């Protein structure tokens, strides 16, 4: 956990060309961001792209730079979109900010944070523009901090984390969209004239319907492994807005930050308003290069325990739903332990004394064990896990309450609701959101985790769910004039509670679940180890969702479970082999009633789990190369992971369509060392005969230029044939 609490950065060079002009060069190993921060003038954006040589850097202004404000503020050119807007205490709605100072701070790891301080020409109003780089990483985080010394409050009405001009040239934007059970879908489109906006207003969960990240392909349609791409990821778990304004200039104007809608913020004298980081990356290796940059930065700098392999688990939800009982939990633990799993997670349904949680309409808020279902309590379950040599984990939904609960009976004042109105009710017809702006609610949330982990230090894993949006605008905690602080302060309170939890329990694994994939964002991942990609566990649909999610998030973050067939969301009948081969491409787990599996299926899973362990490090820490997109409709999808030293690889291939005598493309591999020779071993094999290349060796050069043929079906007995085919190949260099 140490990483998240430290500031890390890399290199910055401030080149003074004359007494007054100051060019700020923020550099990473392969990229440069260049700004002009001349004292007394507006800071200018000059360049973002491949690393500049000293000569090019010196002549950059002569090459034709955008000559655009690096952080446009509202007021003096009101027709232009702004990154920041404020109403001064005297009612003046304009800002006129010029550079006051540039400073560079060395971070503990030897990296640096560059701060350009801009101040208003007339008002005592200041904004720090921060740029942070990291050793060995091609990602720059930018964010701002505003403060003032005016007599009254200053009302902030827009507060973007960053602004980037993007030169027009058939620029395409790839984004993720979706909904519950269909998250992480990829959509790519050229930028239109006018405004393209991607936004979230859910309040609590911000990645079901749209994601706060984009890939900007600078030269036409995005390609996987070549082409210039800028990646942008807003690191924020609350409401966001990403906006491209294409006006009558040569530039698309990209802004990203907290969504200011209904969220104006009254900033007190001396108070600091800090925007969340916007992470930027640039790659000339296409979408894949930008993804790999994000993955490495995410694992090394943001993700909780980004360097620790994840355990293979069984989660009880799709196996038993609310039907929790001690014997059932123990049976599931026995089964997952026998299959080689390492962790059992008891999902929803274990709590509630006065109101037992038998369905989703009661008990949230009452985190006491239901001893009718679990007479031995949680301790008996921890003991049972220990006896079986596995770890134990538990589900909670700490930010929420049902109207049918002891907590709500005692503290109706803790819920988010509009003054003078009844609260709007969500899941189960009774669910409400607790107002995390309220420090007492933060205590409640902290105490839920603290009580569990103090009483049962054996708890190794928490699934932290959030199954409701903020459904009505109103805070019983905020004063009347600060009702617009609801969304921002909710999120601040959420982070405060998580910080307390992580300070005391740095080692526990915590999954971010939010009705499935509602919380896939780098803003919260410093406190979480992974997220639940989707409540939809259908393997075929997961290929599409995990593909999209992989644009910004590495496999280690993506909880991916083998579930029952027919699938509970799609009713699709998918063979275990295919379900496993998809789950194995992420953080493998199971979410199934093992009691309903045949002995043969259990044996197959046991072998697959053992196989996964042999490539777990490559999947979870390797570089991702996406090879054949399911969205291209070519009948198959394929990707691979390669270890950083390029000695090990694991290749996945899934057939996404089934037609007789169809011609599928042969997939060429990527990311290998052309000069190394790799031996091929099939994992999770079900065929009667090994593949022709089993145990054979090929050079990386051959695998990357020619590839291997995938048979269209599996060589299995007639009664086992079905319409699916998939392959997982392990590649080991000599």
If the CB atoms of residues 315 and 484 are measured against ligand GLA, the closer one turns out to be 315
What residues numbered 349-388 form the site for ligand GLA, per CB under 6 A? Answer: 360
65 CB-near residues (< 8 Å, 6+ apart): 44, 45, 46, 47
Q: Do 702 and 681 meet the contact criterion of CB atoms below 8 Å apart?
A: no
Indicate whether 347 belongs to the interface with ligand GLA (CB under 6 A).
yes
**How far apart, in whole angstroms, are the C-alpha atoms of residue 40 and residue 19?**
12
Smallest separation (angstroms) from ligand GLA to the CB of 582 = 17
Vertex 251: Cα angle to 247 and 253 (nearest 5): 75
Q: How far is the CB of 396 from ligand GLA (least distance, A)?
A: 10
Least distance in Å: CB of 318 to ligand GLA?
Answer: 8
Q: In this complex, which beta carbon is closest to ligand GLA, that of residue 291 or of residue 467?
A: 467
Q: Indicate the residue among 469 and 516 with the shorter CB distance to ligand GLA.
A: 516
Active site residue 96: no
Annotated active-site residue in 347, 370, 489, 535? 535
> Cα–Cα distance between 51 and 284 in angstroms, integer?
11
Binding residues with ligand GLA: total (CB under 6 A): 12
Which entry of 120, 245, 348, 465 is annotated as an active-site residue? 465
Examine residue 48 and tell whether it contacts ligand GLA (CB under 6 A): no
Angle at 358 between CA 357 and CA 363, to 5 degrees: 20
Relative orientation angle of helices 439-455 and 486-504, to the nearest 10 degrees:
30
From the CB of 466, what's the least distance to ligand GLA, in Å?
9
Q: Which residues, in sequence order, are bridge partners of residue 654? A: 637, 726
Minimum distance, C-beta of residue 60 to ligand GLA, in the bound complex (Å): 49
Contact 108, 8 (CB under 8 A): yes
Residues forming a β-bridge with 351: 369
Residue burial 214-240, b: 16+ Cβ < 10 Å; e: rest = bbbbbeeebebeebbbbbbbbbbbbbb
| Cα dihedral sign, 18-19-21-23 | positive
Closest CA to 582 of 601, 559, 562: 562
Identify the sign of the CA torsion 422, 424, 430, 434: negative
| Cβ pair 357, 348 in contact under 8 A | yes
Note whether 182 binds ligand GLA by CB under 6 A.
no
Interactions with ligand GLA, residue window 674-703 (CB under 6 A): none
405 lies in the site for ligand GLA, by CB under 6 A: no
Q: Measured from the CB atom, is 200 or 511 closer to ligand GLA? A: 511
Contact string (CB under 6 A) for ligand GLA, positions 521-560, x = contact: -----------x--x-------------------------
Could you tell me which stretch among 171-179, 219-227, 435-443, 512-520 binds ligand GLA (CB under 6 A)? 512-520
Long-range CB pairs of 187-190 (<8 Å, 24+ gap) are 188/217, 188/221, 188/222
Query: Does 395 engage in binding with ligand GLA (CB under 6 A)?
Result: yes
Min. distance of Cβ 532 from ligand GLA in angstroms? 6
Kindly indicate which of the ranges 141-149, 508-516, 617-625, 646-654 contains the residues binding ligand GLA, using the contact rule CB under 6 A. 508-516
The pair of structure tokens assigned to 131 is: 């740029």
Whichever of 318 and 623 has its CB closer to ligand GLA, that residue is: 318
Cα separation, 464 vs 510, whole angstroms = 7
Q: Are 674 and 699 in contact (CB under 8 A)?
A: yes
Site string for ligand GLA, 303-332 (x = CB under 6 A): --------------x---------------
Verify binding: residue 516, ligand GLA, rule CB under 6 A. Answer: yes
Q: Measuring CA to CA, which residue among 550, 560, 461 is closest to residue 510?
A: 461
Determine if 467 is a binding residue for ligand GLA (CB under 6 A): yes
**Among residues 112, 224, 342, 465, which is the contact residue for ligand GLA, using CB under 6 A?**
465
| Nearest approach, Cβ of residue 529 and ligand GLA (Å) | 16
Residue closer to ligand GLA, measured from CB, 244 or 532: 532
Smallest gap from Cβ 204 to ligand GLA, in A, equals: 13
Check residue 202 for interaction with ligand GLA (CB under 6 A): no
Least gap, CB of 427 to ligand GLA (angstroms): 8
245 versus 538: smaller Cβ distance to ligand GLA: 538
Measured CA to CA, the distance from residue 424 to residue 382 in angstroms comes to 38
Among 301, 405, 515, 643, binds ligand GLA (CB under 6 A): 515
Identity of the residue, 347 or 623, whose beta carbon is nearer to ligand GLA in the bound complex: 347
Identify whether 465 is a catalytic site residue: yes
The single residue listed with the structure tokens 């990291």 is: 134
Nearer to ligand GLA, 528 or 724 (CB): 528
State the nearest-atom distance from the C-beta of 579 to ligand GLA, in Å: 17
- Strand order of the sheet with strand 726-733? 623-628, 636-642, 648-655, 726-733, 677-683, 697-699
The answer for residues whose C-beta is within 8 angstroms of residue 371's C-beta and 6 or more apart is 353, 377
Asked if 348 interacts with ligand GLA (CB under 6 A), we say yes
The residue among 474 and 516 lying less far from ligand GLA, judged by its C-beta, is: 516
How many CB atoms neighbour CB 486 within 10 A?
Answer: 23
Which residues are identified as catalytic? Answer: 465, 535
Using CB under 6 A, list all residues that contact ligand GLA: 317, 347-348, 360, 395, 465, 467, 513, 515-516, 532, 535
């Amino acid at each position: 956990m140490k990483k998240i609490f430290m500031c890390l950065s890399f290199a910055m060079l401030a080149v003074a060309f004359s007494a007054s002009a100051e060019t700020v060069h923020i550099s990473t190993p392969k990229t440069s961001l260049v700004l002009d921060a001349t004292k007394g003038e507006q800071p200018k954006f000059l360049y973002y792209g491949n690393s500049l040589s000293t000569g090019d850097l010196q002549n950059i202004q002569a090459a034709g730079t955008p000559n655009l404000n690096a952080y446009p503020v509202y007021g003096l050119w009101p027709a232009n979109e702004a990154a920041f807007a404020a109403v001064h205490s005297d009612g003046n709605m304009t800002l006129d900010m010029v550079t006051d100072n540039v400073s560079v701070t060395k971070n503990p790891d030897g990296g640096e944070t560059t701060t350009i301080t801009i101040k208003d020409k007339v008002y005592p109003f200041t904004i720090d523009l921060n740029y942070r780089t990291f050793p060995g990483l091609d990602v720059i985080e930018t964010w701002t901090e505003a403060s003032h010394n005016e007599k009254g409050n200053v009302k902030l009405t827009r507060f973007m984390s960053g602004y980037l001009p993007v030169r027009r040239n058939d620029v395409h934007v790839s984004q993720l969209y979706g909904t519950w059970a269909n998250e992480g879908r990829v959509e790519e489109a050229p930028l239109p004239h006018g405004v393209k906006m991607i936004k979230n207003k859910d309040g609590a969960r911000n990645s079901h319907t749209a994601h706060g990240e984009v890939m900007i392909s600078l030269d036409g349609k995005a390609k996987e492994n070549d082409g210039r791409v800028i990646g942008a990821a807003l690191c924020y778990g609350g409401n966001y807005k990403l906006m491209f304004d294409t006006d009558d200039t040569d530039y698309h104007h990209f802004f990203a930050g907290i969504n200011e809608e209904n969220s104006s913020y009254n900033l007190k004298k001396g108070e600091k308003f800090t925007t969340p980081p916007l992470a930027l990356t640039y790659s000339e290796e296409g979408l894949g290069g930008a993804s790999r940059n994000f993955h490495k930065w995410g694992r090394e700098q943001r993700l909780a325990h980004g360097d620790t392999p994840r355990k293979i688990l069984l989660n009880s939800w799709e196996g038993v739903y609310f039907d929790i009982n001690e014997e059932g939990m123990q049976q599931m633990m026995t089964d997952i332990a026998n299959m080689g799993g390492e962790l059992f997670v008891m999902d929803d349904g274990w709590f509630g004394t006065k109101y037992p949680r038998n369905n989703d309409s009661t008990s949230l808020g009452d985190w006491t064990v239901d001893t009718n279902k679990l007479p031995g309590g949680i301790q008996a379950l921890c003991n049972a896990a220990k006896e079986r040599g596995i770890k134990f984990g538990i589900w909670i939904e700490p930010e929420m309450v049902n109207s049918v609960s002891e907590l709500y009976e005692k503290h109706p004042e803790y819920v988010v609701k509009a003054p003078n109105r009844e609260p709007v009710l969500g899941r189960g017809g009774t669910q409400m959101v607790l107002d995390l702006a309220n420090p007492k609610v933060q205590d409640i949330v902290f105490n839920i985790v603290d009580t569990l982990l103090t009483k049962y230090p054996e708890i190794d894993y928490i699934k932290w769910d959030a199954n409701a949006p903020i459904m009505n605008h109103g805070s019983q905690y905020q004063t009347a004039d600060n009702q617009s602080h609801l969304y921002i302060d909710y999120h601040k309170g959420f982070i405060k509670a998580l910080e307390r939890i992580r300070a005391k329990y740095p080692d526990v694994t915590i999954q971010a679940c939010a009705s499935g994939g509602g919380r896939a964002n780098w803003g919260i991942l410093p406190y979480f180890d992974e997220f639940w990609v989707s409540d939809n566990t259908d393997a075929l649909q997961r290929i599409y969702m995990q593909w999209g999610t992989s644009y910004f998030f590495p496999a280690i973050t993506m909880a991916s479970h083998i579930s029952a067939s027919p699938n509970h969301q799609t009713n699709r009948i998918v063979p275990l082999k295919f379900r496993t081969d998809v789950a194995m491409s992420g953080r493998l787990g199971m979410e199934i009633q093992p009691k309903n599996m045949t002995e043969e299926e259990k044996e197959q899973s046991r072998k697959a789990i053992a196989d996964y362990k042999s490539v777990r490090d490559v999947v979870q820490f390797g570089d991702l190369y996406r090879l054949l997109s399911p969205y291209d409709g070519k009948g198959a999808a394929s990707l691979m992971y390669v270890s950083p030293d390029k000695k090990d690889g694991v290749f996945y291939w899934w057939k996404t369509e089934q037609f007789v005598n169809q011609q599928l493309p042969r997939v060429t591999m990527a990311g290998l060392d052309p000069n190394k020779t790799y031996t091929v071993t099939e994992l999770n094999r079900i065929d009667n005969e090994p593949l022709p290349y089993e145990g054979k060796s090929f050079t990386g050069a051959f695998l990357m230029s020619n590839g291997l043929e995938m048979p269209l079906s599996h060589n299995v007995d007639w009664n086992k044939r079905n319409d699916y085919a998939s392959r997982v190949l392990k590649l080991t260099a000599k």
